[in-house]
Amino acid sequence: MFIEKVASPGLAHLSYVIGDGGEATVVDPRRDVDIYLDVARREDVRITRIFETHRNEDYVIGSCDLARRTGAAIHHGGALDFEYGSAVSEGDTFEFGSVLLSVLETPGHTDESISLVLADTSFGEDPVAVFTGDALFVGDVGRTDFFPDRAEEVAGLLYDSIHDKILPLGDDVILYPAHGAGSVCGDAMADREFSTLGYERRHNPALQTNGRHAFIQRKIDEIHYYPPYFRRMEELNLNGAPPLDGLPVPAPVDPDEFAEARDDGMQVVDVRSPEAFAGAFVPGSLALPLDMVPAYGGYFLSYDRPIGLVAEDPAQVETAVRSLIRMDYDNVCCVLRGGMHRWETSGHEFDRIGRVSPAELWEQIDKGEDFTLLDVRKENEFQSRRLEEATFVFLGHLPDKLDDIPRGNPVTTFCGSGRRAIIAASFLKMNGFEDVGDTLGSLAACRKIGCPLVGDDAD
Amino acid sequence: MFIEKVASPGLAHLSYVIGDGGEATVVDPRRDVDIYLDVARREDVRITRIFETHRNEDYVIGSCDLARRTGAAIHHGGALDFEYGSAVSEGDTFEFGSVLLSVLETPGHTDESISLVLADTSFGEDPVAVFTGDALFVGDVGRTDFFPDRAEEVAGLLYDSIHDKILPLGDDVILYPAHGAGSVCGDAMADREFSTLGYERRHNPALQTNGRHAFIQRKIDEIHYYPPYFRRMEELNLNGAPPLDGLPVPAPVDPDEFAEARDDGMQVVDVRSPEAFAGAFVPGSLALPLDMVPAYGGYFLSYDRPIGLVAEDPAQVETAVRSLIRMDYDNVCCVLRGGMHRWETSGHEFDRIGRVSPAELWEQIDKGEDFTLLDVRKENEFQSRRLEEATFVFLGHLPDKLDDIPRGNPVTTFCGSGRRAIIAASFLKMNGFEDVGDTLGSLAACRKIGCPLVGDDAD
Amino acid sequence: MFIEKVASPGLAHLSYVIGDGGEATVVDPRRDVDIYLDVARREDVRITRIFETHRNEDYVIGSCDLARRTGAAIHHGGALDFEYGSAVSEGDTFEFGSVLLSVLETPGHTDESISLVLADTSFGEDPVAVFTGDALFVGDVGRTDFFPDRAEEVAGLLYDSIHDKILPLGDDVILYPAHGAGSVCGDAMADREFSTLGYERRHNPALQTNGRHAFIQRKIDEIHYYPPYFRRMEELNLNGAPPLDGLPVPAPVDPDEFAEARDDGMQVVDVRSPEAFAGAFVPGSLALPLDMVPAYGGYFLSYDRPIGLVAEDPAQVETAVRSLIRMDYDNVCCVLRGGMHRWETSGHEFDRIGRVSPAELWEQIDKGEDFTLLDVRKENEFQSRRLEEATFVFLGHLPDKLDDIPRGNPVTTFCGSGRRAIIAASFLKMNGFEDVGDTLGSLAACRKIGCPLVGDDAD
Amino acid sequence: MFIEKVASPGLAHLSYVIGDGGEATVVDPRRDVDIYLDVARREDVRITRIFETHRNEDYVIGSCDLARRTGAAIHHGGALDFEYGSAVSEGDTFEFGSVLLSVLETPGHTDESISLVLADTSFGEDPVAVFTGDALFVGDVGRTDFFPDRAEEVAGLLYDSIHDKILPLGDDVILYPAHGAGSVCGDAMADREFSTLGYERRHNPALQTNGRHAFIQRKIDEIHYYPPYFRRMEELNLNGAPPLDGLPVPAPVDPDEFAEARDDGMQVVDVRSPEAFAGAFVPGSLALPLDMVPAYGGYFLSYDRPIGLVAEDPAQVETAVRSLIRMDYDNVCCVLRGGMHRWETSGHEFDRIGRVSPAELWEQIDKGEDFTLLDVRKENEFQSRRLEEATFVFLGHLPDKLDDIPRGNPVTTFCGSGRRAIIAASFLKMNGFEDVGDTLGSLAACRKIGCPLVGDDAD
């Protein structure tokens, strides 16, 4: 019996292949399903079932494609009216080899959320592991902000699912959640991907509240963001995503053709590092450092216009394409051949972003220089610790709040480390702001060098 | 400027990616086109053109799928009415980067055959290489047996194509043919994949004949075989093959299920080595050692019944699937999970083939034992050297000539090395012959140990 | 924080890389250490410490080579006088990133055995996982037969280590043992590689005994085997293995040269499948199906004579070489070029093994045919269920017990599935037995088809 | 028979594995010899011979390590007194399979230079290919500047070697040289890696001179550079390089430790792109964009001080390490963990380089701004086309000519594309120049946008 975890970085999405006796079940497959076929081939198992722990909102689930390739059946919870697959209910069981999977209905994150309990029948029917989807994570629990009208109700449902269904399985049960640290589906997940129900019961901060009421209050007080692409994911995952006919093959095009496409409306996405982007970029580009595509692409990218990539190498291109199609951005049409170097040597003008160190930033503030310090972190981060002079606009809201930022003045962007700041800086550049700098190091460096901070957790 | 050769073993098919200046042309792509996309990604080029040197008869050409993935244009010769792509004519040129490709019409193997001449314009317009399709190989020339009614005419056309079009390009031109040693499209190709026109002019045995007439006679005298699947390839390659939606994923199934499928008509193909097959096999299997699938599968396999595989490991399964889909056998439904070992431990009966060494064979002959020695090589091989007692049936003709082989008597199969003999042996077993042995080593070993041989070239 | 399990199949050895904060610790590295360097590079961590949970007896530990490549410190328990590294004691702690490792002294399997307890300091000091070496496995506990004079004492030590040290860490602690199913270091490990202390406490058969005394009695009653190579491993692992200067590169040699080397004393090891070996083999070969090299090579192979391999393909050769050097067999000098096929075509005589199906076997028994049925399983397997007519010699003891097997008579070898039986059959052939057959399927198939069995667990 | 080309980018070094009949010969192996072992394993051949076409000056040849791993014999020309291997002479032949290799003594580049002529004996003894080392390249011939006192003589020797030995082999012979485009061992090699003697005879610019005298004059007039590390290569390649015990494993270290090591004398090499370096870098770093390490590392790096790397990802680190050890820089001790991002967030100050576009540069010149425009190309490039205002210092001579560059003034570096300029810019920064910019695009872009140029080839 094996459990193979398949992680999709960026999304911090975790899917699983559970195999035994020549069969396998996949839990929450991603859209580019080749990896599950590889695992199955290597392990000599046939994928016969696919479970969706819930209707996902942050990525296109790969169930339909995987079913098409393998003939597997698709199952999900019954509280939503899916256009494909079949519904399972509390207590339903599925057996193959020595694996016994039982369904727990664990609503809260969404109504149709289920968990899957794994027993090894060669040792009895006691649970040895549980796949909790977005109900319980290592170090956190799932979001409950998707139904603002039912905020209290669904937070309570999640409390009950965890306390009445999942934790009673036993302290010794291993936890396999659907996300790891960095996911937009939770806030405080541990940077550790192994845990047990007992460990979480005693150490998960979200489970240390004083009773159901406090838990609900805590959930209601959380601030979450809802990227616009979620809506599309929800639809696709309800109706069944259309087949993905191989990964898109973006054509490498010369600078002239690339520039022309951009001028005709192509979205230029630059996945290089913040330093490289700041060094030189194609005017009109959006900076989306490679590993941030999943978390922030959905705030800035349109499904209606083609996407052209700027990258350092073919490996970056492939990663970018995979990240994008997982969000249904199949419209990646081309990549700048030869990268920035070729753009530069072809005589095209390039643009730049200033790089400010926290020490320099502090000096500018100290001297009373006139500029906008734009902090684009999440609201809770901003409340916790910030430079007093900072203006707050959450990065994802920048498209709607450009008017709040004074034009004419220099702008220095700021975040936790300088990475979200480069996205913001590039977006300001795209929108006509001329003098834009990124605070490389941002808050992390400010704390190291002792800049004075204000906020709830400032010393 | 680069030329990357993509070889498909078994078929001994050679395709090429020619790239420069951010663009690439593919010559004669195979059906599983992922490899060309990989090369293009790595080399940062866009595939913009696909050339078919001729309508291939031995494999499904991948042009349509590759065009669909990349947007490339497809070109072929004009003497056939293709349902897709566009025709090119003598003298047409195509330029990208420093590559200049010019079309030569080189009929003979087929009427619409073309060759592509490559010049490096940064050094002038002199040819540096030529892609000759099935006109000229290293050490041989193409078959001209596809039009029996026009035998003399087409052999003459080939002579003219080679002598009036290709060789005049110059001795110093590098040769890139569509097949290497082992292909069914030629007989005597060199086991060396690099050559020049000058070297071939002076050393290619087929070009050493005394003039046009002798060349034609030589071609007419050649014996070639025409596997039944060729007809299907010709149709697909004329009309355009339907898209291949990912490689088939054969399901690993347990022995019981495998046996049941076999009993319901599934063709069982065992791709293990002859020794392993002889050791134990699933009754009713056809032995097709992995690298012989392309050369002999087309004689024995039906498109109408599903195929189940027996293999040693997942790598063999993948190779088998790729070999089969290149011949349009997309009907690979399953693979015996756990291989023969699992079949045996599950209590299913297995069958065996006897293994006779040449010394033992000779001893049996010497003693006058009563058995059929069945030599399944090609006719020219048989004529060249053979054991006097041998009965000749070409392996590919065995399905039609079973009645020529006396039942009741033991049969010992024989070929060049024992590999074709195992296919024959398995086929006899499938058809009710009970006492069947394979001469491992066959003719090669007979010669080493000095068995008395007869035939045109026997010493 | 990550834990990456590195499994070495065959040995069923599990080693671990624990990383966080840019540092990593390796637990029980194998000898070919490239894989740990790969993990470290990919995860951007520096390997700073290596722990040996005990002086291993079944493989050469890679600590010294890994330390040489990385500068890492080596630690082991203090109850043995190692020539390298440094001793740690109960309660010693090691911290990096959020990882806190604490040492538990857990003697029993060996005196110097230690376990490592892992806490995630970002969540407190409670243990979240434990690396138990050969003390506690999933579904079993470690062997305690290495000190026959102290049998009771060491079994008791193990009981105390598990009950007083390991289990009290808590039900919710994840278990990371040094071996998985198939290891010679335990007998009944689960075919499942994930578990917790709570699950083991309640389900591990070895922990369900009625108290300390019963546990000791159970351990004393166990039958274990001690392959001769263990002695060498123990010495190397005490003194520190000499550097491995890259993997040996066995030269592909032609049949003539291979035969000559064999005649000069080279040990021929054939790692192909039992079916392929039975089909045809180089006379004088030992059959060691690839995945059985670690478990049985040490009973049959000498360190003093070179080893020549017969394999199906280069991947098998590499796996064989890795398996052998893990047991300090660096003396792999060559591989038969072109495999058996080339041997056969070169005119060399080959040998064969008969393949008997259980039904045929039963028929022979039923008819009262005169032959030796040689069952080479472990004694406990033999006691549990067997064919009444079987003669018992444990496979590993065959070299010493050849005289117990009557010559002249046919011998049919038998085991659980036919795989150990092929090793035995080849060994008999090497030693002059002429008529030897292997029962493919062996006991597993006998049970399926309902052969009458005797023994403690026979129905 | 196969020839497998192994290219080492950066060095533009080409080595070859020639295999047939189970044996292989390697020509000019690089120092990290694992790739030859991989080819040999895959092709089932034993490497029995290694040829060095000459004592290489630009990299450590891997002969000794490869011989140690395989038992192969090493051969080189006799005109130099090597401490290892054995000398071969004109006409010596070596045969394996159908391969016949014959030695041609082809001095000129060096006295002991040899070429290897390949015949396929199954087609006769006519040559089909020739391995010319550094005598004849595609589009160029070897350098003859290594013996300044014998300039005329050695250029004449090369002329004779090419005209009297190599070209007479025949127009139809395929050319396999030791370097491709980009090598420091020639100047004008074609960006095409396939050619024949006939094509070169008619198109290689170096062979179009009017007779021997003109050839010699042309060679004498060439300008070549001699990086200081060549001396060390020559010594190692004469005496035999010591074994490379696996690739160095640079430890990922935190910014504090990295900074401390730098302050203690560690050389910091930043292999990221020019844009990324310009964006932000560790003060005191040398920029060496990854693919330029081989060509320029040897001018700037010391063998006596450790090297610490800054890179984007682990793949870059491995490439850098391989490039460095090929030049005997085994002293790579560490890599900045987490790259620049981590440096920035840890609060360490970073530095920047200005990025000037050619248009901006021209505007500055036009306005008469006061700055040094430093052109670091090779002298012949500078003579050919330049901006009139440029100061010339060849990049490799910068360490010796720092005093020629006025301090205090801003410096804008310039080269062919902006890549060599970033190395120069970083070196100036290391040496206290404060205001330094890189002209991204440099001459290539200047030409595209029509900046006025002067020089021999300016329009």
The subunits that touch chain C, with at least 3 C-beta pairs less than 8 Å apart, are A, B, D
What H or E segment, with its residue span, contains residue A42? helix A34-43
The subunits that touch chain B, with at least 3 C-beta pairs less than 8 Å apart, are A, C, D
Q: What is the pLDDT of residue B59?
A: 96
Q: What is the pLDDT of residue C187?
A: 67
3-state SS class at B27: strand
Instruction: Give how far C132 is from chain D: nearest CA, Å.
Output: 28
Rounded distance between C-alpha atoms, residue C30 and residue D128, angstroms? 48
Q: Which residues pair with D176 in a beta bridge?
A: D131
The two tokens of residue B359 are 């010394």
The per-residue pLDDT for range A84-112, each reduced to its tens digit, is 999 999 999 999 999 999 999 999 999 99
Average pLDDT (D397-406) is 96
CB contacts of D245 in chain C (<8 Å) are 243, 245
Instruction: Give how far D267 is from chain C: nearest CA, Å.
Output: 20
At the topology level, CATH places domain D354-449 in Oxidized Rhodanese; domain 1 (3.40.250)
CB contacts of A196 in chain C (<8 Å) are 128, 172-174, 196
Helix ranges (DSSP H) in A179-228: 197-203, 211-221
Nearest CA in chain D to A349: D357
The two tokens of residue A392 are 């707050």
Q: Is residue C370 over pLDDT 70? A: yes
Q: Please answer whether residues D83 and D240 qualify as being in contact, where contact means their C-beta atoms are separated by less than 8 angstroms.
A: yes
Residues A42, B314: C-beta atoms closer than 8 Å: yes
**How confident is residue D459, by pLDDT bands cut at 50, 70 and 90?**
confident
Residues B341, C419: C-beta atoms closer than 8 Å: yes
Q: What is the pTM of this model?
A: 0.96
Instruction: Give how far C195 is from chain A: nearest CA, Å.
Output: 7
3-state SS class at D174: strand
What H or E segment, with its residue span, contains residue C422? helix C419-430
Q: What is the pLDDT of residue D187?
A: 67
Q: What is the pLDDT of residue A187?
A: 67
Rounded distance between C-alpha atoms, residue D243 and residue D248, angstroms? 12
At the topology level, CATH places domain C2-239 in Metallo-beta-lactamase; Chain A (3.60.15)
The per-residue pLDDT for range A367-392, each reduced to its tens digit, is 999 999 999 999 999 999 999 999 99
Phi, psi of C380 (to 5 degrees): -65, -35
**How confident is residue B184, by pLDDT bands cut at 50, 70 and 90?**
confident
What H or E segment, with its residue span, contains residue D66? helix D63-70
Instruction: Give how far D66 is from chain B: nearest CA, Å.
Output: 25
Q: What is the pLDDT of residue A181?
A: 85
Q: Is residue C199 over pLDDT 80? A: yes
The two tokens of residue C137 are 């496995």
Domain A2-239 and domain A251-345 have a common topology: no
Domain boundaries, chain A: 2-239, 251-345, 354-449
CB atoms within 10 A of CB B370: 10
Residues A243, B243: C-beta atoms closer than 8 Å: no
Instruction: Give how far A276 is from chain B: nearest CA, Å.
Output: 20
- Select the residue from D313, D318, D336, D345 to test the A interface by mutation, using most A Cβ atoms within 10 A: D345
Instruction: Give how far C447 is from chain B: nearest CA, Å.
Output: 8
Average pLDDT (B182-189) is 75
DSSP-derived letter for residue C170 is: -
Average pLDDT (D352-368) is 95
DSSP-derived letter for residue B46 is: E
Q: Please answer whether residues C351 and C429 qualify as being in contact, where contact means their C-beta atoms are separated by less than 8 angstroms.
A: yes
The per-residue pLDDT for range D82-130, each reduced to its tens digit, is 999 999 999 999 999 999 999 999 999 999 999 999 999 999 999 999 9
Helix ranges (DSSP H) in C92-175: 151-160
Q: Is residue D458 over pLDDT 90? A: no
Q: A223-227, C398-402, D266-270 — which is least confidently predicted?
A: A223-227
Residues B170, D198: C-beta atoms closer than 8 Å: yes
Rounded distance between C-alpha atoms, residue D275 and residue B200, angstroms? 51
- Select the residue from D2, D120, D126 to test the B interface by mutation, using most B Cβ atoms within 10 A: D120
CB contacts of C192 in chain A (<8 Å) are 1-2, 98, 120, 128
- % of chain C surpassing 70 pLDDT: 100
In this structure, are strands C267-270 and C285-287 parallel, antiparallel, or unpaired? parallel
Residues B126, D196: C-beta atoms closer than 8 Å: no
Nearest CA in chain B to C345: B441
Instruction: Give how far B251 is from chain A: nearest CA, Å.
Output: 5
Q: Please answer whether residues B76 and B67 qualify as being in contact, where contact means their C-beta atoms are separated by less than 8 angstroms.
A: no
Tokens 């930022």 -> residue: A405
Q: Is residue D185 over pLDDT 90? A: no
* Mean pLDDT, all residues of chain D: 96
First to last CA, chain B: 50
Residues A22, B253: C-beta atoms closer than 8 Å: yes
Phi, psi of D47 (to 5 degrees): -80, 115
Q: Please answer whether residues C233 and C57 qualify as being in contact, where contact means their C-beta atoms are separated by less than 8 angstroms.
A: yes
> Which of these CATH numbers, 3.20.20.10, 3.40.50.20, 3.30.1360.70, 3.40.250.10, describes B251-345?
3.40.250.10
Q: What is the pLDDT of residue C459?
A: 74
The per-residue pLDDT for range B332-366, each reduced to its tens digit, is 999 999 999 999 999 999 999 999 999 999 999 99
Residues B128, D195: C-beta atoms closer than 8 Å: yes
Please spell the DSSP secondary structure of C405-418, one letter per residue: SPSSS-EEEE-SSS
Q: What is the pLDDT of residue B159?
A: 98
Nearest CA in chain A to C197: A172
The per-residue pLDDT for range B370-410, each reduced to its tens digit, is 999 999 999 999 999 999 999 999 999 999 999 999 998 99
The per-residue pLDDT for range A30-60, each reduced to its tens digit, is 999 999 999 999 999 999 999 999 999 999 9
Nearest to C370, CA basis, from C426, C411, C331, C328: C411
CB contacts of D182 in chain B (<8 Å) are none
CB atoms within 10 A of CB B306: 17
The two tokens of residue C286 are 């030992």
DSSP-derived letter for residue C162 is: I
Phi, psi of A52 (to 5 degrees): -110, 115
Q: How many CA atoms lie within 13 A of D299 on its CB side?
A: 24
Residues C418, B344: C-beta atoms closer than 8 Å: yes
Average pLDDT (B308-317) is 96
CB atoms within 10 A of CB B325: 20
Class of residue A453 by CB neighbours under 10 A (exposed 0-12, middle 13-18, buried 19+): middle
The subunits that touch chain A, with at least 3 C-beta pairs less than 8 Å apart, are B, C, D
Nearest to D73, CA basis, from D82, D188, C40: D82
